[in-house]
Amino acid sequence: MAHLSLRNVGKTYAGGTQAAVSGIDIEIADGEFIVLVGPSGCGKSTLLRMVAGLETTTEGEIHIGERLVNKLDPAERDIAMVFQNYALYPHMTVRDNMAYGLKNRGESKTTIAERVAEASRMLELGPYLDRKPRALSGGQRQRVAMGRAIVRQPAAFLFDEPLSNLDAKLRVSMRMEIRKLQKRLGTTSLYVTHDQLEAMTLADRLVVLNEGRVEQIGAPLEIYRKPASTFVASFIGAPAMSLLDARISDGAISLEGHALARVGNASGPVTLGLRAEDLRIAPQGIPLAVEHVEELGAQRIVHGTIGAQNIAVIEVGEAAIQDNVHVAVDPDKLHLFDTSTGRRLEVQSQPHQEMAL
């Protein structure tokens, strides 16, 4: 077990002009669960594979524990990896799959047997030890892949979208299992996913990546509550935060001519972020033309337009929804972003001047 540090890490593929990943600075404490999240092509898998040693690092330094590992082979880095398609050896039994890495490391037979027994007990793989991977279900295969990582007792676990081949229900339960297991073992983990829900539920800290750069690093809730940019705002949370063009004039935010709240920010155009769950349908407020309603059972998502801009509102009531309704929001639930850079602007509130409608 060890801490992990990435210092100004970057990668440019040979022949490529643009860096696939650049300027990544992350310090990961011992036992921390870090999730790298971002849309496909953002470089999250590349970054993980650089830590694993499967891709070369062209810039910066990667340390695992106290060791600089940039030039080390994957086998020498003391890490274990779980792949999306499991990458189990199809011709070996579950037992041999787990034992293979230990055998290559020259561990004694008794150690191997002990570790495999322990891992299979932890993962409830006991009855399947002598089966071949193809006789297992997706979830069981995933578990074998995790077992293969666990028996090695590595300094860090690397997960490369391990749950994306499973069906939705299994994904939820495996997600919890991974989290519990990691807590119990206390092994530093780096986990890559494009699923923001998985990211939110698993992470001690989230790293949101976009186009090879870090957009924001922080605890899941912190990122949810204070997204650092429009990119993070639209990526984390479902339904996505509605981002609307608004203006600040005369010390108030106005959206399509409707004043929302008084703020102390400078006048000018601004991007206004509204979370669907912060909005509510109210007797009066901003008029919303309803386009369609998604019924989810526990709640419903009302999609509509304010002026010509799309917006989503979560409604928990049971009443039928009219074609034209009014929505309101608390002023402290507003997110403001710079229109040109997309970075977050702190709302400079002016207390006692409620205009929340």
Partner 1 sequence: MQRIKPFDHLILILGALFLITPVVMALMSSTQNAIDIHNNGLYFTPGSNAVPTYGKVLTHRGGFTGDVTGMRMLMNSMIMGIGFAVGKIVLSMMAAYALVYFRFRFATLLFWMIFTTLLLPLEVRIMPSYQVMSTLGLLNSYTGLIVPLLASATGTFFFRQFFRSVPDEMLEAARIDGAGPFKFFIDILVPLSRTMMAAIFIIMFIYGWNQYLWPLLMTTDESFYTLMRGIKSILQVWIGSQIPDYNEAFALAVLAMLPPVTVVVIFQRMFIKGLTESDK
**Residue 311 binds partner 1, judged by CB under 8 A:** no
- Which residue's CB is nearer to partner 1, number 39 or number 74? 74
Instruction: Give the Cα separation of 233 and 237 in Å (integer).
Output: 8
The tokens for 35 are 């999730």
Radius of gyration of the chain (CA): 24
Which of 20, 80, 214, 311 is close enough to bind partner 1 by CB under 8 A?
Answer: 80
What strand order describes the sheet that includes 79-82? Answer: 79-82, 156-160, 188-193, 33-37, 205-210, 213-218
- Which residue's CB is nearer to partner 1, number 163 or number 274? 163
Q: Which DSSP string do the residues of 302-328 spell out, in sequence order?
A: EEEEETTEEEEEEE---SPPPSEEEEE
**Residue 251 binds partner 1, judged by CB under 8 A:** no
Whether the CA torsion 36, 40, 41, 42 is positive or negative: it is negative
Which range touches partner 1 (CB under 8 A), out of 81-89, 213-221, 254-262, 333-341?
81-89
Which of 56, 85, 173, 267 is close enough to bind partner 1 by CB under 8 A?
Answer: 85
Which of 3, 12, 72, 100 is close enough to bind partner 1 by CB under 8 A?
Answer: 100
Cβ proximity of 314 and 263 under 8 Å: no
Instruction: Give the Cα separation of 204 and 218 in Å (integer).
Output: 8
Query: Which of positions 45-74 make contact with partner 1 (CB under 8 A)?
Result: 52-54, 73-74
- Which residue's CB is nearer to partner 1, number 96 or number 222? 96
**Residue 130 binds partner 1, judged by CB under 8 A:** no
C-alpha closest to that of 195 among 32, 38, 86, 47? 38
Which of 89, 126, 310, 317 is close enough to bind partner 1 by CB under 8 A?
Answer: 89
**Residue 259 binds partner 1, judged by CB under 8 A:** no
The tokens for 173 are 């339960």
What is the smallest separation between the CB atom of 176 and partner 1, expressed in angstroms?
Answer: 25
Which of 91, 109, 121, 225 is close enough to bind partner 1 by CB under 8 A?
Answer: 91
**Residue 84 binds partner 1, judged by CB under 8 A:** yes
What are the CB-based long-range contacts (under 8 Å, 24+) for 120-124? 120/94, 120/95, 120/147, 122/147, 122/150, 122/181, 122/184, 123/147, 123/150, 123/181
Query: Which of positions 143-202 make contact with partner 1 (CB under 8 A)?
Result: 148
Instruction: Give the Cα separation of 200 and 237 in Å (integer).
Output: 9
**Residue 109 binds partner 1, judged by CB under 8 A:** no
What is the smallest separation between the CB atom of 150 and partner 1, expressed in angstroms?
Answer: 13
What strand order describes the sheet that includes 286-295? Answer: 279-282, 324-329, 286-295, 300-306, 309-315
- Which residue's CB is nearer to partner 1, number 103 or number 343? 103
User: Per-residue contact track with partner 1, 13 to 52, x per CB under 8 A?
Assistant: ---------------------------------------x
**Residue 139 binds partner 1, judged by CB under 8 A:** no
Q: Could you list the residues that contact partner 1 (CB under 8 A)? A: 52-54, 73-75, 79-81, 83-91, 100-101, 104-105, 133-134, 148
